[in-house]
Amino acid sequence: MTDHPGSEELAALVRGGLTSLRTSEVVRHLLLPCLPCAAIVGGAMQQLVNPAPVPEEQYDAALNRALHTVFQHEKSLRQRKAEAERLEAILAQGGPFAVGDLPFEIDPLALIDALLARSWAVRHDKPGEMVQFADLAVKHAQTLDACDYGFPRVADVHCRAWAEMGNALRATDQYSLATQALANSRSMFELGTGDELLEIRVTELEASLAADRRQFTIARVKLTRVYRFYRRKRMDHLAGRTLILKGLYANYECLGDEAIDLLRQGRALLDPMRDPDLHYSAVHNELLCLADAGRVQEAKRLRIERSRELSWGKGRVSQVRLRAVDGRLDAAEGKFARAEEIFREVKQGYTELGRKYHAAITSLDLATILLRRGRWVEAKEETLEAVKVFQALQIGLEAYASIILLREYFELRMITPEVMQEITAHLRRAEYDPHARFTPPPSFRVP
């Protein structure tokens, strides 16, 4: 925080009328130190005690009391953070069961901080432990005494614990339980201090759950509020990340042009060095959206202009995904021989990575090229191989209906590259939205 807080906020600090987030921000500002703001705080304390003019020595005493309060608050926060980090290190070694071995005399708030930090830390590798740590945080929050901390502050802790519990349940596909946990979090927020950053965190997690439940419009509405908060706070990198998520969800709803605009706006706000993976994802997804929308020349320009950023993609999966886009762009430009070579390479890559769904999609891309090159028998073999994979994966009913239609078109020898492209596009969307309706376009000939 570099801007000076307003005089009304400084007065509210003395009265205890700021949220915990804003209190911490103002306290850190005063500790720069900022003597003009400290003087205002001292004056506010003087007015609180005695609105009439007082001698200079009494004014100095009020200022000293204000600064003492500020230092004590900051000291308490530092101690709590240090203890939370120490406890998290113990939990990292022993897992959830290590809670029973922790010292008896510990700060309950620091323990909850540690449990939630550990829950977040294992979200990629150990989703089961993510839920366990969040559940422990909820249970420990329920032991807090409102007489010790004040009811609004305890409500904030409950809100945060339930929110992270909801996120952990979402990450393990327990959507009904996640919905209830986030509803609990929202209810506790209404009883708390009104901490704006806490509400934004809850809103972000609600958006993630809505997206996982394929409620993309709801997710985008919630993210709009999140974006406006980050922009107002001049947190541009986080605002950019939010726009990128909105762009992805817009693309899942087949709003290609809107998705491209959002991704571009989001990328412009990112700090590439702060999160290279996110920047790579933004460029790559813009490339995908351009390819989906048939804006081939724009996609080719982006591919060339942003080759350095695209090279940031880590791992074999990123490399294979990028080559798949290259194949689609070559196919769109009529470079069929080169596209065929790339799609065979991509199919092998996905197969080696165990990405069966993506390998099957690539088989259909390859079959489309083979049809365009007049190699009907090879195209049928690739297609029927993909159909078997989709059947084994037990894909959604709408997607299943599309592959049955594809197989029937081959059996009737009425298949065309256009039919292949339409069905492949639907199956790409079905990866993110299994309930997406498949409606054959009027160009499909009925036998």
pLDDT in tens, 85-139: 888 888 888 888 888 777 767 889 999 999 999 999 988 888 899 999 999 999 9
Position of tokens 């078997």? 388
- pTM passes above 0.85: no
Final residue before a domain boundary, out of 64, 83, 102:
83
Provide the pLDDT for residue 59.
53
* pLDDT, greater one: 264 or 427: 264
Structural contact between residues 355 and 393, judged by C-beta atoms closer than 8 angstroms: no
Structural contact between residues 284 and 311, judged by C-beta atoms closer than 8 angstroms: no
Final residue before a domain boundary, out of 28, 57, 83:
83
Question: Which range among 186-190, 334-338, 359-363, 403-407 shows the weakest confidence by mean pLDDT?
Answer: 403-407
Number of domains in the chain: 2
Which residues are CB-neighbours of 5 under 8 A, at least 6 positions away?
13, 25, 26, 29, 37
Is the residue at 289 inside a domain?
A: no
Q: Is the dihedral of CA 365, 369, 370, 374 positive or negative?
A: positive
Work out the mean pLDDT of the chain and round it to a whole number.
Answer: 84
Provide the pLDDT for residue 51.
54
In DSSP notation, 214-274 reads: T-HHHHHHHHHHHHHHHHHTT-HHHHHHHHHHHHHHHHHTT-HHHHHHHHHHHHHH--TTT
Is the residue at 34 inside a domain?
A: yes
Q: Is the model's pLDDT at 178 over the cut of 80?
A: yes
Final residue before a domain boundary, out of 83, 109, 135:
83
Is the residue at 319 inside a domain?
A: no
Q: Is the dihedral of CA 310, 234, 224, 158 positive or negative?
A: positive
Is the residue at 106 inside a domain?
A: no
Domain that holds residue 76: 1-83
Is the residue at 381 inside a domain?
A: yes
Which percentage of the chain shows pLDDT scores above 70? 84
Is the residue at 207 inside a domain?
A: no
Is the residue at 196 inside a domain?
A: no
Dump pLDDT digits (tens) for 404-417.
888 888 887 888 88
How far CA 296 is from CA of 178, 249, 423, in Å, comes to 40, 21, 20
Average pLDDT in the 211-237 region?
93
Provide the pLDDT for residue 1.
47
Rounded Cα gap, residues 404 and 400, in angstroms: 6
Provide the pLDDT for residue 195.
92
Provide the pLDDT for residue 46.
58
Rounded Cα gap, residues 321 and 306, in angstroms: 16
Q: Is the model's pLDDT at 14 over the cut of 80?
A: no
Is the residue at 400 inside a domain?
A: yes
* pLDDT, greater one: 391 or 71: 391
Count other C-beta atoms under 10 Å from residue 180's C-beta. 15
Q: Is 340 exposed, middle or buried (0-12, 13-18, 19+ CB in 10 A)?
A: buried
